[in-house]
Structure formats: C-alpha cells, structure tokens
Chain A
Amino acid sequence: MTSMTATPTLTKKDFESDQDVRWCPGCGDYAVLAQMQKLMPTLGIPRENFAFISGIGCSSRFPYYMETYGMHSIHGRAPAIATGLKLARPELSVWVVTGDGDALAIGGNHFIHAMRRNIGLKIILLNNRIYGLTKGQYSPTSELGKKTKTTPLGSIDRPFSPVAVALGAGATFVARTTDADQAHMGSVLKRAAEHEGTAFVEIFQNCIVFNDGAFAAITDKSVRDDARLLLEHGKPLVFGKNKDKGIRLRGLEPEVVTIGEDGVSVSDLVVHDEASEHSGAAFFLSQFDAPRLPVPLGVFRAVSTPTYEGMNTQLHADARASRGRGDLAALFNSGDLWTIT
C-alpha cells in the first residue's frame, strides 16, 4: 500500500456478513442489527478492529451477521470472554450482545463484575422479557404474574430492572432505548460507542413470537408519549403528548404533575443530570415504571472514570519503568541461588 491510498470509506454494507439472518420475521433484533451496521462506519474505527462477543440466546446470534471479528460463545459468559480479549488487546472496540436471560440469569456474575471494573466493553442487552430460543419461558425481567410454559399459574419471581442492576454494579454509562425508535436507538448506541469504560445499553426488544407487544405501551406511537420519558441531559423531566407533564419531587418521592396546573411550572421539575458524580439520581430514574410513572429512555448516567484496561496498561508501564523490561535469565537467577561445581 502506498501513502497515496486513503483508507476507504466504509458503509453499512461493509458490516453485513454473508450469513442469512435467521431471526423470526418481525423480530425486534433486526432493527438493532440494522442500527449497529449503520453506526459502525461512522465511528472512524477500522473494520478489523471491531469484535462482537455473544453468549447464547436469540440475540446472541448477532455476531454471525456482523462482518467483523466475532465469537458466539457459551451461555452467559460473553462479558468474561470479552474482558479477556479487551485486556489482551485494549486497542480493539469490543462489543457484547446479550439478552435478559443470558446477562441477568446465567451470566449475572460476569455482567455485574464487568461494570464494577469499568472495563471498556459495550454491553448491549436485548431485553424481550422472555426466553425465546427455548420457546417461551419467563425470564428475570418478566413481570410478576406472567403466564408462560413454566409459570402456568403466573410467575411469582419478582423481576429486576437491568438498568438498576447496572447502576448497582457501578456502571459508568447506562442507557435505555427501544427497537421501535430507530433514531433514538442510533443516538444512544453512538453515545455508548464513544464512552470510555463499560457502556451498558438496555434495548426493549419485541419478541413477536413469544412475548409480542410486551413494550407496546412505550413503543406504540399513539400512546407512547404518555408512557415514556425521554431523558435529556440538563433538561427538566418533561413528557406527554403535549409535553405538559413533568416529574416533581415531594421529599424523595417522585410525582407526575401537569405543567400549568395548580401553579406548577417547568422550574419545579427535576432536572436530569447524567453526569452526576453519584449514581443516586440515575437509580431514582431506574425505578420509574408503568403505570404509575413514565418509563425513562435515553442516557441515565455517563461519567468519566479511569478504565480497567487503561489502569492495567499503566501498571505494566510503571513496572517496566521501575524494573526495566523483564529478562528471563535475570528472573531465573533471582532468589536464593547456590552453585555446585
């Protein structure tokens, strides 16, 4: 290659692999794949420097469809595998694509520890609140009372919120979006891509076969504006079709108010601060759930903290600065030696 040859500009097509996509027609995963393939060429990263790692589940087929490096591994372990890859090769852009069962049930431990360490992985969780690949059992995010094949009388498992789990584990970037809002998903994924450290994105994903309409209230254009709350940094928490509803604090309790009624003005509303040092505000938002409160979408938290791989690289640099590059003969000949002649 000569210096004249500029790096070719990549397009979405360059990130589409030759494999037939095998999700059910109408599955929300298609939209995520399309957004991802669209995002990749905009990041200024050579294609060969991307790696997609997944576990098991419908969403975990994802890497096969990306024309990047990738691994479809074993159930729940993708964050652990990706951690090893990122530590060995910090210069790579490493993405984990996972699901609610993969990340929160069988792989819960790896999921929380990746975020605790703040290792530079992008963890995209496609939450469809059901087990799709095994044909319809309840998942850790299925709602109480949910009837599935394994809960014919309704689930008695309390669900947890992936966003709350991520925040509890100390994640430095936490966001939520839906498969139905392409523009929103695209912007959230871009923010995640640019974050240093672990970036966690929950995507509400419709499983058309086993849990169709699970997020209809939030994604259906006719009703969604009253059910969702689009987070914007530095802006008050306003929502509703007419942008006339807001969130006000009474003590530590959030309440929905209508702007202009009972003397409520925008200045009474909570202002979203994604960069808040502590994650309390973000956690507060993570507890919002329908029907009492609108479901927040967007970036809950984005703070800058040293990354795990960065600190690891620094440790190695420091060790070399103080001890010099390791020398095998010197290592062998250290400690208590004696000579036999």
Chain B
Amino acid sequence: MSVTQAAEEAGEPGRAPSRLVEELESVVIRFVGDSGDGIQLTGTEFSRAVAKAGHDFATHPDYPSEIRAPTGTLFGVSGYQIQFAARQVFTSGDAPDVLVAMNPAALKTNLSDVKRGGIVIVNSGAFTDGNLAKAGYKANPLEDGSLGDFRLYQIDISELTAHALKETGLSKKEIGRCKNYYALGLMLALYSRPLEKEEEDVRRKFAKKPEIAEANVLALRAGYAYVDSTEMFVTSYKVRTAKIAPGTYRSLTGNHAAALGFVAASERSGVPLFLGSYPITPATDILHELSALKHFDIATFQAEDEIAGICSAIGAAYGGALGMTTTSGPGMALKTEALGLAVMLELPLVVVNVQRGGPSTGLPTKIEQSDLLQALYGRNGECPIPVIAANSPADCFDCAIEAFRIAVKYMTPVIFLSDGGIGNAAEPWRVPDPESLPKLEVRFRTDPEGFQVYARDANLARAWVRPGTPGLEHRIGGLEKDFLTGDISHDPANHQRMVEVRAAKVEGIAKDIPPLEVDGPDDGDLLVVGWGSTYGSIVQACEQAAAEGRSVARVHLRHLNPLPPDLGGILKRYKRVLVPEMNLGQLSRLLRERYLIDVIQLSKVQGKPFKVSEIYDRIIDFS
C-alpha cells in the first residue's frame, strides 16, 4: 500500500489538491439500508463505475423477501456488497472495509461483519429516536462510544439531500428517494471515480422522468462535492486497475448471462427457443430477459403454474423447438412428474433451477446449493437426468449453451443448477465473438424409410422428428415402450432393457466431458473439490494457503451427472479430500458412494456464501 500526494490525480475535475490518496490492492464495500432505499441500485451503479475504470469485481446482493418491509426494521434491511481490486476478484469479499449504513437497523444488522478499524459511514439523519427504537438500540450508538473500533463518519444524508434538492419542487417523499444517489456520490468521490459518466447513466436510466433524473443528478453531485468541500475525509482511495484480458466487457448477473447463453444456443443451432415458466424468486429474471427478445426466434410463455411451465416446454420440444423452463427449488419439486415424462419421451429439454434456501418456501432470497440430490434423484422410477452447475455469473452463459448441447445431442432433459448468489450477483463478462461459440448440430429426421421411433444412434439418442413431417406420424407417451418401435410394452425383459439403456445414455455423456483442470500440485496433502457458486471462495482460500506453502490443490466440477471420467483418478492422488458445500454434504455423499473414498465435509447453510477464511481455516487443518 502506498500513500502518494493527490497531485497524481490532477487530471480529475473537482479534486481538492490537499487530500492524500491511499492506494489499495482491493476494497470491500457494503451498502445497507431499508429495502425501499434503493440500495440495490446504488450497489449496481457503483459496480458499473468501478468496472468501467478497469477493475475486476464481484458482488453479493442480499435483500429481504418482502418487497417493501416496514421501514426502519431489522428484517427490512437490504444490502449490496462489492469487492473490487487490482487483481482478479473471485468473491464479494469476507468482511467489508467500508460499511455505508442508511439507518440504525442497517448498522445494527451489519456492523459485526465489518473489519475492525474499517470505515463506517452512517446517515446520521436517520438515527432518530423512533428508528433507534425500531432497531432495538437502547442508546444511540453514534453517541455512546460503541463504535470506537471503527472509523466513524456521521453524515446527515437525509438533510443534506433535502437541502440540495430544495429548489426542485419535489415532494418530501420524492426527495427522500434520492438519498441513495447522495450516498453513491460520496463513495465515487472517496474512491476517486469521475462523476460525469455516472451523471450520463442517471439521465439515461430516468429518461422517462426527467425531473427525477435531474434530482438524482443533483443529489449525486452534492454527495460528491461533500467529500471535497469538507475536512471530514483526509484521505481518499484509489485501487489500481486489474490486469484483465483485453477485450470488450459488460457487467452481467448470472440470470442475464444465462438468458444470453440460451439465445446463443438457439442462434447457433438454428432452432427456435421456447421458454415456459412461472415467476419464482430468484429465477424470474431469466424469463424477464428472454421475454424482451421477441425479435429473435424466442417465444416466452408465462404459464399458469410451474407444472404448465415445464409441460408447455415439453410440448414445444415435441414440436421441434429448444424447450426450456426456469424455476427454483419449490417449483422444481412441482415439475418432478413432468421431468419423468421428458425422460421417457427422450426429448431435449433444459430445466434451470436457480437454487435458494430450502426446504419448502425456505429462504427465497438467500443462497444455498441444497438441490443437488433432488436434481439427481428426485423422481419416481429409475430416472437419470444429466446435471450441470455454473460456478459464477459469467459461467451461466457457457452452462446455458452446454445444457442445450447435451440435451439435443443425447435427446434428454438436462438440469442446469445455478443459485440465488450467482443469479443476482454481477461480474464482468467478456463479450465473445458469436462465431467463436460452439455450433449445436440439430438434424430433424425426415426420412420415413426404416423409421423406428426408439431406434438409437451411437450416442443412444433417438431421432428428433417434427410433427408436420409426412410419413413419420407416431405416438409417444409416459408408458414404458418397446425398445425399437416405441409402442406400449409391458414385457419384463424389455422394461429392464429400457431402464438400462436410459441409464447408459446418460452415463455415456461422460465421454464428452473435457479433462478436469486441477489447480495446484498433481498430488499432495489435500484436494478441495467444489461445485457451483462456492467457486470464488474456494479459489481464494486455496491461493492463500498455497502462497503460504501449503500442499493443496483444487478442482471444480461443472458436470455433476455424469461425473467427469477422470475425477476418480484425481481424487486418489491426494491424502485427503475436502468438499465445501452450502448444504449438509450432498456432493460429499456422491463422492463417497461413487469412489469409496472418505471426504471431509465443510457445510454452511446460513443463506450466505462461504467466507474465504472459513474455507482457508479448514484447508490449513489438513495441509
């Protein structure tokens, strides 16, 4: 960390020349406030600003399931955490260096996470007796010395925003809604980001309501100016830009990335996409995104329920479209019977489960990865379905294409697991050249000569026939069918043969799975195996331990059914295997059962992602 004079910053407008600029490797900032305070917007805007400055970043939105919980209450607190750095960023960070708290409840619920000595910026105007009481504070923490461990900045954001906007003629309520832009202005100034680009963004975002746009710009400017015009902050901060592969980037959430991946799958196969879906948190954004793309070959259908979501997709797949449905845990449970039908029909279908805390309604807005075994086994009968999982927001793009690649090649439903953390969090996505993306080969059968409904190719896939093709009229259904003709069959030997061939078909997908990339030594004390959104925390924990000379390697699984063919050999090269999971050990169970090895489980089910330190602490126990 180096401290230099602010003269370096001379090129940037409006900077007070006397302030010190402290250079940082990385910063973790958490914005917290009422769910109606616009916290998610502030966080998103801030992450865009740092991304444009060339930083890598990762975010974690954390919001209550109530849309507008009563103001000032503990359960109504919404948060948005971002880490940005001069190096590659894998997680939104363990402990915030900076907390921006818009009211007492937000302070109370988040303070314990903040680094000792960290910066706490509070909207002191919200620390009224009423709000303090709602948050359960007996004494005002701004006055009783309880924040002594932190660098506390009290700024009456409510009042300062009102003052800045007094000429606008807006109502008190409307002015109150601009507070978040004041806070954003503060942070942009403190972290040495220019204001102009953000102003343009605000004007664009509120183009339909110019008076609100101007009010937000005023609030933003006032917050920005506050840092410069007061003596309060003696230092501002600068994070060097990261070394990122050259290219064009944009910030994408996992759900948005998945949507783009599905469009790509359609365009690269030349087959129309059909999404049948029922709104459910945290998966709905995929439906939102695709619904807006009617100028592509994309049909979206908001079904009457979860079952109709998947069933309409099955109908579309029968009609020769890339059928898909999106959901989260409880919705997945409802789709179970139809998934069995899709397995029997042997039609391509992609089912996205953006997992959330369960069981039942569980924790709709919180992160968990506890639907793995449901994805593998949650159906009646022997009902194998390939399962893949994304490890980051940007990875959802690739997984969406991979899901359809498997579905059409093997004529099978595929379950694509994401989770609320990945789905809603954003990270930079390097915009690919569409021509560089895999082409999905789809050939509909049109030749009636020798057609048998369940005849199979070398991949054990049957032919895909579009209704409307003369001479290929045929019936399929959920009853067991003859191995070749597809006619109903209750023959005992035929049933065994069909059960086995459906299993063999899915097992056979393993031959397409590329070799696993092991990060670290080829053998040693410890291998950390992960899947899904634990990726970032695992990478950082392993890097940290390896840098200290620990004998640790890691591998991350995208394919969970079938498992990669080389996994068994890799597992055996290490003395111990550690599996961190946001469930009670579902992958651990699979690995034990499949490879007859012991596995150290590291479980977390708190609706929050792993902290790097939580994984690191276990690594150093075994390496």
The residues of A with any CB-CB pair to B shorter than 8 Å are 17, 19, 46-49, 51, 53, 63-64, 66-74, 77, 80-89, 91-92, 109-110, 113, 312, 315-316, 318-320, 322-326, 328-329, 331-333, 335-341
Contact = CB atoms under 8 A, between A and B. Distances in A.
B616 interface: no
B52 A338 contact: yes
Given A74-B338, A89-B467, A91-B468, A63 B475 contact: yes
B249 interface: yes
Contacts of B432: 332
A92 B319 CA distance: 9
The B contact surface, by secondary structure, is: mixed
A220 to B, nearest CB: 35
A337 B250 CA distance: 5
Contacts of B345: 71
A320 B476 CA distance: 35
Given A85-B318, A340-B54, A64 B475 contact: yes
A89 B295 contact: no
B301 A87 contact: yes
Contacts of B274: 84, 87-88
B467 A85 contact: yes
Interface in B339-365: 340-341, 345
A328 B434 contact: yes
B119 interface: no
Interface centre among A66, A73, A82 (most CB of B within 10 A): A73
Contact of A326 (B296, B317, B488): B296
Contacts of B308: 77, 80, 83, 109-110, 113
Interface string B555-598: 00000000000000000000000000000000000000000000
Contacts of B612: none
A150 to B, nearest CB: 22
Interface in B235-271: 244-251, 260, 263-264, 267
Contact of B246 (A80, A331, A340): A340
Given A332-B434, A338-B249, A340-B249, A85 B316 contact: yes
9 contacts: A46-B470, A48-B467, A48-B469, A63-B475, A71-B345, A74-B478, A328-B263, A328-B264, A332-B431
Given A49-B468, A64-B488, A329-B434, A110 B318 contact: no
Interface string B306-342: 0110011111111111010000000000000110110
Nearest to B312: A84
Given A88-B272, A325-B295, A109 B304 contact: yes
Given A74-B337, A88-B319, A338-B248, 16 more contacts: A81-B311, A81-B318, A84-B301, A88-B315, A88-B320, A89-B319, A91-B468, A109-B305, A326-B267, A331-B296, A332-B432, A335-B250, A336-B251, A337-B250, A338-B249, A341-B246
A339 B52 CA distance: 8
B190 interface: no
Given A87-B316, A89-B467, A337 B434 contact: no
B311 A77 contact: yes
Given A87-B274, A109-B304, A338-B54, A332 B318 contact: no
The 5 closest A-B CB pairs, nearest first, are A84-B315, A72-B477, A84-B312, A326-B296, A80-B311
Interface of B: 48, 51-52, 54, 201, 244-251, 260, 263-264, 267, 272, 274, 276, 293-299, 301, 303-305, 307-308, 311-321, 323, 337-338, 340-341, 345, 431-434, 466-479, 487-488
A331 B260 contact: yes
Contacts of B301: 83-84, 87
Contacts of A340: 54, 244-247, 249
Nearest to A325: B295
B41 to A, nearest CB: 14
A168 to B, nearest CB: 15
B253 to A, nearest CB: 12
A87 B316 CA distance: 7
Contact of A69 (B467, B477, B478): B467
A337 B54 CA distance: 11
A336 B45 CA distance: 11
Given A48-B467, A89-B467, A73 B311 contact: yes
A336 B48 contact: yes
Contact of A319 (B267, B294, B471): B294
A77 B274 CA distance: 18
A334 B474 CA distance: 44
Given A80-B315, A340-B249, A47 B263 contact: no
B124 to A, nearest CB: 33
A110 to B, nearest CB: 6
Give the residue among B52, B245, B295, B474 with the most A Cβ atoms within 10 A: B295
Contacts of A77: 307-308, 311, 338
Contacts of A91: 468
B318 A328 contact: no
Given A48-B473, A74-B478, A331 B468 contact: no
Contact of A48 (B267, B295, B317, B468): B468
B472 A74 contact: no
A63 B468 CA distance: 16
A7 to B, nearest CB: 10
A137 to B, nearest CB: 20
Nearest to B53: A338
Contact of A51 (B337, B467, B488): B467
A71 B318 contact: yes
A262 to B, nearest CB: 50
A115 to B, nearest CB: 11
Contact of A72 (B299, B469, B475): B475
A17 B477 CA distance: 15
Contacts of A46: 470
Nearest to A117: B304
Contacts of A323: 295
Contacts of B246: 339-341
Contacts of A19: 475, 487-488
